[in-house]
Structure 1
Amino acid sequence: MHRAKDTWSQNKSTFEFDEGKLVSFGRESNFESSHKIYRDGITGIYYHIGKVSDEEGYAKARKNLERERPYPFELETGTRARDKRERVLTDRELQSKAENCIKYLNETYPKFRCKIRFTGTEYDRRTVNDLGMDYRSQDYAVGISGSFKHCDSKNIDDGYFEFNMRDFDENVFRQVADDYFGQYEVMNKIPEEVILDVTYYGLVSFFSQHLNGEELARGTSLLTGKIGEKLFSDDFTLIHDATDEEAWFNTFWDGDGCVFENDKLVLVENGVLKTGYADKKTAREYNIPHTGPAYDSFSDIPGAGGLNLRIARSGKTVKELLDGRLCVVPVDFTSSGFNEKGEYTMLIQNSLLFNGEKVLGRLPEFKIASTVFDMFGKDFIGVSSDRPIYYDKQLLVRVNIV
Structure 2
Amino acid sequence: MSYDLSLLGWTESRSFQLPDGTVPARVARVDRGAAEVIAADGQHHARYGASVRRAAAADPVALPCVGDWVALRWLPEGRHELEAVLPRTTAFVRGGVSRHSVGGLSGDGQGQVLAANVDVVFVAEPSMHATDYADLGRIERLVALAWESGGTPVVLVTKSDLFEQGLDDLMADVRTAAPGVDVHAVSSQRGEGVEIVRGYLEGSRTAVVLGPSGAGKSTLVNALADTSVMETQQVRAADGRGRHTTVHRELIPLPGGGLVIDTPGIRRIGLYDMSDGVDLVFSDVEELALRCRFGDCGHDSEPGCAVRAAVESGDLPQRRLESWRKLQREAAWMAARTDARARKELQSKWKVITKEMRRSGRNRP
Instruction: Please indicate, yes or no, whether the TM-score normalized by the shorter chain is above 0.5.
Output: no
> Which structure: greater helix fraction?
2
> Which structure: greater strand fraction?
1
